[in-house]
Structure 1
Amino acid sequence: MTSGPSETIATTPLPSMDALPTMHDLPSDDPLEPGLPDEFHGIQPQLLAETLRLTDYAASEIFCAFDLNLYYDPNNTSWYKRPDWFLVVGVPRLYRGKTTRSSYVTWDEKVNPVMVIEFLSPGTEAEDLGPFANKPLPASPPGKPPNKFTVYEQILQIPNYLVFNEADRRLRYFRLVDGQYEEQAIAPNHPLIWIPEIKLALGLWNGTFRGIPQHWLRWCDAEGNWLLTDTEVERQAKERERLAKERERLAKERERFAKERERLAKEQAELREQQERLAKEQAQQARARLEAYLRSQGIDPDNLP
């Protein structure tokens, strides 16, 4: 599906890179902006971050963040968007390898995000979906910041853009094709999106996270196996350790039972030998009594007629 008409972004010569502000020069928040609209906006990014496991990048080369200022225009250095979650690969985990970030400045970092996820909220549909919204926003007037959709598509050209509506669990995926976002078809009953740049899939998982049972966005591998959080990895390791100890206990128990069976078998064999010896002794005693009786009657037991 091809997106509708897009806004035209005026371009002007870039100022000198040395004159541009860095992360330390730009505000990290706006006191006039409201905070996170609900718990989901704060909890869902944690699951995305905790299950992110990339094979082509070390942890020191991955940066992901949520609700963090993303500065995108060196001609308008105060303009920023605040994605609900975004991922950058091929950059230091720490800013210049030293400190955590208070914002992400694209012209300073020189690497744009590989994907952005927005969680749809009442009132944000037009901003998040642009021409794909039921009621798209009008084009931004000159001198005003464009909407998120336009920034992600035309300015940053982020190859993967996803919008998730927690209310109806609808996940939408926009892939950058020839400079424009095209919405990709997703199976409604089993939404699973393969992101080729990071070799992971994003799907809708029904489970409990932070004590809340519901549907969550979660990473999985090419075979559809959900990737685990560190807590789940630790829990599984403890469970494997417990099972290993249980198997060891059962093996020792089986060994003890085997020895017990061997002891009982030996005792039974000895008992049979005793019974056979006793039966033989009783037969010998009975024969001796019979011979003695015959002799008392004047009969030679060795020469019976």
Structure 2
Amino acid sequence: MYQTDPPRSPKEVLPTMYDLPSEDPEEPGLPDEFHLLQPRLLGETFCPPDYPADQVFVASDLNLYYDPHYTNWYKRPDWFAVVGISRFYEQRDLRLSYVVWQERVNPFIVVELLSPGTEKEDLGQTLRAANQPPTKWEVYERILRIPYYVVFDRYTDELRAFRLEGSRYTQMELRQPRLWLPDLQLGLGLWQGIYQGIERQWLRWYDVTSQWILTPTEQEAQHAEQEQQRAEQEAQRAEQERQRAEQERQRAEQERQRAEQERQRAERLIAQLRSLGVEPDLGSEQR
């Protein structure tokens, strides 16, 4: 009697960071892969033309301390950018956090990537108790007064943007999934493409000509392609020069052959005249 394999159970669904608690009960699990890749793409393409690279600071999942009266209160944006400040802490070191009352420059834009555990707070739909720290929305809008706040839902590819007008955020009407930031001379929009081997809708920055700003990897690939094109053009020019030289050589050979044929005809004519007893007058030819 043969032993049969046990029946297979349906494939189990693995838990996500939103299903499992963190070691710290007040913190969620580590970011998922999208929360690692999307901020990286934003940072690689954030190049405001009016600010040198050493005066631009971008960060993701970095503690942002916002209240000098409650120094242990912080938010951790998925991505934010600060312009007009040194890229390094005290001009020389990488930052461990961003403390606004020390830096004296607030972020210019914050991007939050919606997730099941933070969606309501990201959209300003949560309330807090009086003895609790303010919500993200309150910090960005009321305390730090960050000019632009962007929310992106990767499950629906919905992009929402809010602009600070007066003391409140107002949702911007986007006719297409793009928004232009005139103070930075940069735009932020949805791009369908492949990044880190994954094709989907990604948030990335574009310039005043509506061209997507290239990542360092794309710049290298573009440079390599341009070098290849230049090499091909040089090879084509060299081939054209070779062909022209060959044509000149052929023309010279044809001229030589024509001259030889003329000389042979002249010799035959002289020989014919002499056979008839006529001595040809070669003086004019010699002159």
Equivalent residue letter for 1:120: L
Counterpart mapping for 1:80-95 below 5 A: 80-95=74-89
Q: Secondary structure at the match of 2:61?
A: coil
CA distance in 2, matches of 1:165, 1:36: 18
Q: Which residue matches 1:120?
A: 114
User: Match for 2:100 among 98, 106, 113?
Assistant: 106
Matched, 1:178 2:199: no
Q: Which residue matches 2:228?
A: 242
1:182-240, Cα deviation, whole Å (9 max, x unpaired): 0011124xx22111221111111112111212221111111101111222222222222
Q: Secondary structure at the match of 1:193?
A: strand
Query: Shift in Å at residue 276 of structure 1?
Result: 2.7
Relative CO higher for 1 or 2, CA cutoff 8 Å, sep ≥ 6? 1
1:278–1:35 CA distance, 2 compared to 1 (3 A): farther
What is the TM-score with the length of structure 1 in the denominator?
0.78
CA distance in 2, matches of 1:98, 1:285: 99
Matched, 1:146 2:134: yes
Q: Which residue matches 1:231?
A: 217
- Over the residues paired in the alignment, what is the CA RMSD in angstroms? 2.0
Unaligned runs of 5+ in 2: 1-21, 279-287
CA distance in 2, matches of 1:64, 1:180: 24
CA contact (8 A) 1:71 1:105 kept: yes
Query: Shift in Å at residue 288 of structure 1?
Result: 4.5
User: Match for 2:91 among 97, 121, 124?
Assistant: 97
CA distance in 2, matches of 1:244, 1:69: 47
Aligned sequence identity (%): 48
Counterpart mapping for 1:1-305 below 5 A: 31-32=24-25, 33-130=27-124, 136-137=125-126, 139-188=127-176, 191-289=177-275, 291=276
Q: Which residue matches 2:6?
A: none
Q: Which residue matches 2:16?
A: none
CA distance in 2, matches of 1:125, 1:112: 24
Query: Shift in Å at residue 63 of structure 1?
Result: 1.0
CA distance in 2, matches of 1:31, 1:103: 19
Specify the structure having the higher radius of gyration (Cα).
1
Equivalent residue letter for 2:238: K
Aligned residues: 256
What is the TM-score with the length of structure 2 in the denominator?
0.83
Unaligned runs of 5+ in 1: 1-28, 131-135, 296-305
